């Protein structure tokens, strides 16, 4: 980047373009940044191809395209790619793909023969699309950062969840990891909240199907409130099975807290039926399109993302926004 481009990047306000998957979140971020939302036209042709057009001049600007790649994952991914290409061809000086929820993240290894390494392919596509940097939240595994040969700012929304716990006035609780893979993160939550930790030993019998084998540290559970922390709730099998097993072992009230509310399949019905007092998620994935069960509470990551954008734009450190819960 030459000195003139660098000067104009810092002197003019950042440009935020929310995509169809993240409109509400992007609008909230603009309010926190005190800037206007940059307009975008997205249309579908009758043969289902997507058309994207940026509605304002972004020549020479520091552009942040906000789009999660949640369901319908392929449509949202394609929209993101077209937005990146449109911004690139409109001569943006720098383009950051802000992907609050990175879909395809769970396909991040070749654990059987002849399967695609989808998380890597998606990273390649986003790079080819024209992104110069990535800003994302709670990747399913931190190593996915390495799938990009671009700077990645990987935020943790855990503080949004722990702030809720502190403000709720809940006392006498145990933090629970719903599976062994999540232990390090759950231990960090337990340390931050000064609470004991228990671990659910979960077995996956098929994709999206899980069962509880045992609970390590279950002597902590009887009579206590329980906070299950996970990175995401998808079909809700993991959280609902864990909540039942914890109640069987004498837990008082069980709360589920997760950053990404994927909530696919029968998740709503399952969460309603499960012995969960409340389910706390964030708005990395928009829930605006459908009425939510009353026990689901959505917290916003807009202030966190707005702070990160300010720092990236001003070339200030982003690391103090995410170091505490780093995996
Ligand atoms: C697993 O590794 C993840 O951290 C989540 O526990 C899992 O993806 C949740 O899926 P589901 O809600 O479908 O059980």
Which atom of ligand 1 lies nearest, measured to the CA of 182?
A: 4
> From the centroid of its chain, how far is CA 22?
11
Claim to verify: residue 169 and residue 139 sit in the same structural domain: no
| Ligand 1 pocket, Cβ-based, cut-off 6 angstroms | 178-179, 181-182, 208, 210, 230-238
Ligand 1 pocket: which of 202, 205, 238, 244 to mutate (most atoms within 8 A of CB)? 238
pLDDT at 1: 59
pTM of the model: 0.94
Per this entry, what is the length of the chain?
A: 327
Give 203's pLDDT tier (boundaries 50, 70, 90).
confident
B/e letters for 28-49, b = 16+ CB within 10 Å, e = fewer, are bbbebbeeebbebeeeeeeeee
Phi, psi dihedral angles at 171 (to 5 degrees): -130, 165
Q: Give the active site residues.
A: 202
Residue 73's pLDDT is what?
Answer: 98
Are residue 14 and residue 115 in the same domain, yes or no?
yes
Q: Do 280 and 320 belong together in one domain? A: no
From atom 2 of ligand 1, which residue's Cα is the shortest distance away? 181
Are residue 136 and residue 198 in the same domain, yes or no? no
Query: Mean of the pLDDT values across residues 195-200?
Result: 95
- Within this chain, do residues 180 and 295 fall inside the same structural domain, yes or no? yes
Judge if 121 and 150 occupy the same domain: yes
Same domain, 137 and 203: no
Instruction: Check residue 211 and give its pLDDT.
Output: 75
Query: Which residue's CA is minimally distant from atom 13 of ligand 1?
Result: 235
Q: How many domains does the chain have?
A: 2
User: Does residue 135 sit in the same domain as residue 61?
Assistant: yes
- Whether pLDDT at 324 is above 60: no
- The whole-angstrom distance between residue 179's C-alpha and the CA centroid of its chain comes to 19
Atom of ligand 1 nearest to the CA of 210: 14
Q: According to the model, what pLDDT value does residue 41 have?
A: 98
Ligand 1 centre distance from Cα of residue 43 (Å): 33
Which atom of ligand 1 is nearest the CA belonging to 233? 12
Summarised one tens digit per residue, pLDDT across range 228-237 is: 999 999 999 9
Do 319 and 295 reside in the same domain of the chain? Answer: no
Residue 213's domain comprises 158-299
Task: Supply the CATH number for residue 261's domain.
Answer: 3.40.50.2020
- Centre of ligand 1 to C-alpha 233, Å, is 6
Q: How close is the Cα of 184 to the center of ligand 1, in Å?
A: 15
Return the pLDDT at 8.
Answer: 58
Task: Tell me if residue 18 falls in helix, strand or coil.
Answer: strand
pLDDT digits (tens, 9 = 90+) for 85-117: 999 999 999 999 999 999 999 999 999 999 999
């Amino acid at each position: 980047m030459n000195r003139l481009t660098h000067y104009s990047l810092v002197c003019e306000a950042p440009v935020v373009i929310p995509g169809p998957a993240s409109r509400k979140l992007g609008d909230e971020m603009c309010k926190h940044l005190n800037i206007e939302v940059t307009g975008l036209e997205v249309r579908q042709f009758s043969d289902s191809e997507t058309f994207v057009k940026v509605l304002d001049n972004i020549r020479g600007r520091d552009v942040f395209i906000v789009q999660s790649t949640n369901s319908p994952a392929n449509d949202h991914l394609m929209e993101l790619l077209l937005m990146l290409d449109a911004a690139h061809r409109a001569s943006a000086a720098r383009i950051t793909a802000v992907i609050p929820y990175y879909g395809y993240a769970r396909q991040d290894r070749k654990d059987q023969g002849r399967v695609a390494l989808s998380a890597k392919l998606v990273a390649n596509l986003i790079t080819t699309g024209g992104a110069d940097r990535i800003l994302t939240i709670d990747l399913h595994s931190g190593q996915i950062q390495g799938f990009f040969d671009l700077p990645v700012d990987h935020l943790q929304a855990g503080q949004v969840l722990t702030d809720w716990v502190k403000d709720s006035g809940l006392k006498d609780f145990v933090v629970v990891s719903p599976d062994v893979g999540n232990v390090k993160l759950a231990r960090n939550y337990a340390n931050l909240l000064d609470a004991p930790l228990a671990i659910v030993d979960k077995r996956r019998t098929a994709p999206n199907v899980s069962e509880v084998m045992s609970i390590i540290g279950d002597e902590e559970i009887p009579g206590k409130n329980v906070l299950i922390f996970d990175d995401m709730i998808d079909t809700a099998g993991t959280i609902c099975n864990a909540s039942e097993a914890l109640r069987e072992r004498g837990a008082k009230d069980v709360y589920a807290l997760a950053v990404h509310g994927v909530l696919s399949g029968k998740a709503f019905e399952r969460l309603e039926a499960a012995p969960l007092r409340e389910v706390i998620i964030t708005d990395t994935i928009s829930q605006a399109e459908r009425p939510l069960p009353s026990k689901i509470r959505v917290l916003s990551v807009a202030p966190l993302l707005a702070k990160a954008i300010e720092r990236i734009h001003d070339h200030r450190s982003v690391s103090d926004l995410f170091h505490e819960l780093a995996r």
